[in-house]
Amino acid sequence: MGTMTREEWLTSAVDVLRPVFREAGISIPAKVKVSCGWPSKKALASPVTGKRALGQCFASAASAEAFNEIFISPVLDEAIAVLEVLVHELVHAADDCVHGHRGPFARMARAVGLEGKLTATHADPKLLAALKTLNLPPYPHASVDASRTGLPKQSTRLIKVACGECGYPVRVTRVWLTKAGAPMCPMHGVAMSIEQNHIVSLKEEQ
């Protein structure tokens, strides 16, 4: 058998977690898919703020096949950390994402062994011990840091100016606007005016 993919590992993790949930009186839905992928919100937020999303579960209504689709952030590469996030998202799946982090979700999360702030839970000692005994190989994934693009950061900003007669647009730096003033329209020979709220980066212009 070849090397296990991330999705195969995550699918196997769901299967071995089912008894853990059953012991807590919770049923994981039969139709669950788990992938390694960026959550749709706050996936790239700074980890320093504690607001970076590490997982996301979508309600079955969002899936054409009525699956609860779960995504585990590529930032994570350590099996226990992945499993802690997966348990949290599976509680959302059991609730079909109806109650957010309140009510039934909160009760199920505590019952299965998640502690801490309900929007950023971690395993309590009992659940952590159970996760460490699960029969799973190492998680076949290396962490992805989206902030390391290898590209130089572009700090230059361009300001849009336009002719008041015809709207002919030009973008220039603030330095040149200060040194030489606004350029002249090549069609009407009048000085262009700065358009408000039209500062863009060079990267956006490419």
Instruction: Break the chain down into helix, strand, coil percent, rounded to 5.
Output: 35, 20, 45
Residue 205: predicted pLDDT:
37
Residues 169 and 94 in one domain: no
Q: Which of 116, 132, 148 is the last residue of a domain?
A: 132
Residue 70 in any domain: the answer is yes
Residues 188 and 119 in one domain: no
Residue 195: predicted pLDDT:
62
Distance CA 87, CA 129 (A): 14
Residue 196: predicted pLDDT:
52
- pLDDT means over runs of 10, the chain (206 residues): 86 97 97 95 74 93 97 96 98 97 97 96 97 95 81 62 81 78 82 60 38
Structural domain boundaries, residue 21: 6-132
Q: Provide the number of structural domains found in the chain.
A: 2
| pTM higher than the cut 0.75 | no
Residue 1: predicted pLDDT:
42
Residue 1 in any domain: the answer is no
Residues 58 and 91 in one domain: yes
Residues 163 and 123 in one domain: no
Residue 149: predicted pLDDT:
62
Scored b (16 or more CB within 10 A) or e, 90-112 reads bbbbbbebeeebeeebbebbeeb
Residues 32 and 108 in one domain: yes
Contact 194, 161 (CB under 8 A): yes
Residues 27 and 122 in one domain: yes
Residues 127 and 164 in one domain: no
Residue 140: predicted pLDDT:
97
Residues 128 and 81 in one domain: yes
Residue 84 in any domain: the answer is yes
Distance CA 90, CA 31 (A): 11
Residue 147 in any domain: the answer is no
Give the CATH number for residue 122: 3.30.2010
